[in-house]
Amino acid sequence: MTSGIIAIAAAITISVSTIGPGIAQGIAASKAVEAMARQPEASGNIRTTLIIALAMMEALTIYGLLIAFMLIGKI
pLDDT in single tens digits along all 75 residues of the chain: 688 899 999 999 999 999 999 999 999 999 999 999 999 999 999 999 999 999 999 999 999 999 999 989 887
- Residue 74: what pLDDT? 81
* Domains, the chain: 2-73 (1.20.20.10)
- Residue 1: what pLDDT? 65
The Cα–Cα gap between 70 and 47 comes to 35
DSSP symbol at 1: -
The Cα–Cα gap between 43 and 22 comes to 23
Q: Helices then strands (H, E): number in the chain?
A: 2, 0
Inter-residue contact 12 to 63 (CB < 8 Å)? no
pTM attached to this predicted model:
0.76
